[in-house]
A and B are shown apart, each in its own frame.
Chain A
Amino acid sequence: MKRIFVLFAAFTLMAFVLPQKRKIKIYLIGDSTVCDYEPTRAPITGWGMPFKYFFDSSVTIDNRAKGGRSTRTFISETRWQPIADSLQKGDYVLMQFGHNDEAKEPQYKDRYTPVPDYKTNLAKFITETRAKGATPVLITPVSRMRFKDRVAQETHVEYTAAVYEVAKQYNVPLIDLDKKSRELYQQMGEENTKLLFMQLAPGEHPSYPDGQKDNTHFNEYGARRMAELVLQGLKEAKVELVNHVVNQKG
């Protein structure tokens, strides 16, 4: 009788305890360097794609990044609000914008976002994430490939500086992916860095019959290297999330 009672009590307790082990959700918000792609567009790959395999089963990654979006259009197209609505305590929002915010050319005026607005929009993501008890993480825009005299050049100066300012003002963990990626390009050198990007000879890959010479978007290899840098940044910033990376205890 005692046994049955204990067993029953244990089950009753479990019913309350187990559902609390809800999965942590990581939302990725950003642009084409982060987003998921259809297999027919391979080998183009956003870093969110390999990134999702870094975590154990206590975490789900929801990659909401979308090509061509700036902080402004991400909000105006109602891509942010559904995330803000569904965020729960303990979730994370990793944000990386800039490529489209900084596009000053006339053909990109639909996405261009001046620095002050860019900062305001990032602050909105941060504030609304925190309001839900979730954790925001800021990521500087991943560097484009541009070498001058064999030196990897900064390609997002103003907007990366803006991310730093927002991170400081709101005391948000920051991953300087702009710097980390540039350091990787420098280390690999001008020729080998092309191996990270969508650089294809004509006829090499069926999805791109005319070839590609793209210094912004990553192939599957580059995307994985970027995802590794983001993970390294999470560790350096001591974000608790790293305890949910696979093989951490091994």
Chain B
Amino acid sequence: MKKVCFVALLFLTAFALPPKKTKVWLIGDSTMSIKEVRAYPETGWGMPFQYFFDSTIVVDDRAKNGRSTGTFLSEGLWGPVVENMNEGDYVFIQFGHNDEVETKKSYTTKEQFVANLARYVTESRAKKAIPILITPVARRKFDAGGKIVGTHDVYSQLVRDVAKTLNVPLIDLDAKGKELYQQLGPESSKYLFNYLQPGEHPNYPEGKADDTHFSELGARKIAEMVLAEIKALNLPLVQHIYQPAKK
């Protein structure tokens, strides 16, 4: 009888182990992507974000510099994500920076942008994964009076519309980002971005004044904002946020 118990236990263990890890897929552009060392200190918010979860979660940041909803599809970057997606996974979708600029090769019309976002949502759901739509994170732009100015107004609204129509959880990083920059003001908000004096950092000998791409600080602040919104949405993912051992 004891033996039977033992065998039963072994049998159970075979199914119980290893615990299946949930994947958090990030798809998007340079504001989210993992940077090469030669681009440091430019940082995508996916870089600090990956350390926010416990060992049951794997963050797989597939975001790529310069990609729009259209080129992410046409270059075959989405295919492998769908193929490897499992039930219960999450897909965080943040595009817009490269969709909305008519002069860019990656330009995507409003209609196509909406259709592409809908496709990411539908195909994620077909795999029983959970899509989350994110508005394009705000750029740093102030008017003469020191008031923050929107730079993604049209495409952010499209993301909100798709989220509403398809009933997808939404994280409004455009609005939240603008709030943060306004709170810091025109000067101090520069610390969030890749602002460098000439000669300050070896990767940028001529210096840099970039109002789109983040410093380590900005990327982490944005990642923290995404995490706060995950909590506000009360996604089940909240159960897997990293917790330090109690002292």
Residues of A bordering B, CB below 8 Å: 39-40, 42-43, 50, 53-54, 191-192, 195, 204-209, 219-221, 224, 228, 231-232, 245-248, 250
Some 7 contacts from A to B, beta carbons below 8 A apart, are A40-B51, A43-B48, A43-B220, A53-B40, A54-B202, A206-B52, A228-B200
List the A side residues contacting B200 at CB < 8 Å.
Answer: 228
> Which residue, of B199, B201, B203, B205, has the highest number of chain A Cβ atoms within 10 A?
B201
- Judging by beta carbons under 8 Å apart, are B216 and A231 in contact? no
Q: A206 with B41: in contact, given A42-B51, A220-B217 (CB under 8 Å)?
A: no
Give the distance in Å from the alpha carbon of A221 to the alpha carbon of B38 in the complex. Answer: 17
List the B side residues contacting A54 at CB < 8 Å.
Answer: 202
- Judging by beta carbons under 8 Å apart, are A40 and B242 in contact? yes
Which listed residue, B37, B201, B220, B242, touches A220 by the CB 8 Å rule? B220
- Judging by beta carbons under 8 Å apart, are A207 and B224 in contact? no
List the A side residues contacting B202 at CB < 8 Å.
Answer: 54, 231, 245-248
Give the distance in Å from the alpha carbon of A206 to the alpha carbon of B205 in the complex. Answer: 35
List the A side residues contacting B205 at CB < 8 Å.
Answer: 247, 250
- Judging by beta carbons under 8 Å apart, are B244 and A40 in contact? yes
For the A-B complex with A206-B243, A208-B244 known, give 4 more contacts whose Cβ atoms are closer than 8 Å: A42-B48, A204-B224, A219-B220, A221-B215
B175 at the interface (CB under 8 A from A): no
- Judging by beta carbons under 8 Å apart, are A209 and B244 in contact? yes
Binary A-proximity of B205-247 (CB < 8 A = 1, otherwise 0): 1000000000111001000100100000000000001111000
| Nearest CB in chain B to that of A250: its residue | B205
What is the minimal beta-carbon distance from B48 to any residue of chain A, in angstroms? 7
- Judging by beta carbons under 8 Å apart, are B51 and A221 in contact? no
List the A side residues contacting B244 at CB < 8 Å.
Answer: 40, 206-209
- Judging by beta carbons under 8 Å apart, are B51 and A224 in contact? no
List the A side residues contacting B199 at CB < 8 Å.
Answer: 232
- Judging by beta carbons under 8 Å apart, are B227 and A206 in contact? yes
List the B side residues contacting A50 at CB < 8 Å.
Answer: 40-41
What is the minimal beta-carbon distance from A223 to any residue of chain B, in angstroms? 8
List the A side residues contacting B65 at CB < 8 Å.
Answer: none
Give the distance in Å from the alpha carbon of A245 to the alpha carbon of B38 in the complex. Answer: 12
Top 5 A-B pairs, shortest CB-CB distance? A221-B217, A220-B216, A206-B242, A39-B51, A246-B202
What is the minimal beta-carbon distance from B49 to any residue of chain A, in angstroms? 11
What is the minimal beta-carbon distance from B202 to any residue of chain A, in angstroms? 5
Which listed residue, A191, A221, A248, touches B188 by the CB 8 Å rule? A191
- Judging by beta carbons under 8 Å apart, are A192 and B224 in contact? no
What is the minimal beta-carbon distance from A47 to any residue of chain B, in angstroms? 13
- Judging by beta carbons under 8 Å apart, are A224 and B41 in contact? yes
What is the minimal beta-carbon distance from A140 to any residue of chain B, in angstroms? 20
List the B side residues contacting A209 at CB < 8 Å.
Answer: 243-244
List the A side residues contacting B241 at CB < 8 Å.
Answer: 206
List the A side residues contacting B188 at CB < 8 Å.
Answer: 191-192, 195
List the A side residues contacting B48 at CB < 8 Å.
Answer: 42-43, 220
Give the distance in Å from the alpha carbon of A220 to the alpha carbon of B215 in the complex. Answer: 10
| Nearest CB in chain A to that of B40: its residue | A53
Give the distance in Å from the alpha carbon of A8 to the alpha carbon of B56 in the complex. Answer: 57
| Nearest CB in chain B to that of A203: its residue | B228
What is the minimal beta-carbon distance from B188 to any residue of chain A, in angstroms? 5
| Nearest CB in chain A to that of B200: its residue | A228
List the B side residues contacting A207 at CB < 8 Å.
Answer: 51, 242, 244
| Nearest CB in chain B to that of A208: its residue | B244
Q: A224 with B224: in contact, given A50-B41, A195-B191, A246-B203 (CB under 8 Å)?
A: no
What is the minimal beta-carbon distance from B31 to any residue of chain A, in angstroms? 17
> Which residue, of B41, B188, B241, has the highest number of chain A Cβ atoms within 10 A?
B41
Give the distance in Å from the alpha carbon of A39 to the alpha carbon of B215 in the complex. Answer: 18
List the B side residues contacting A40 at CB < 8 Å.
Answer: 51, 242, 244
Which listed residue, A205, A224, A247, touches B216 by the CB 8 Å rule? A224
What is the minimal beta-carbon distance from B60 to any residue of chain A, in angstroms? 16
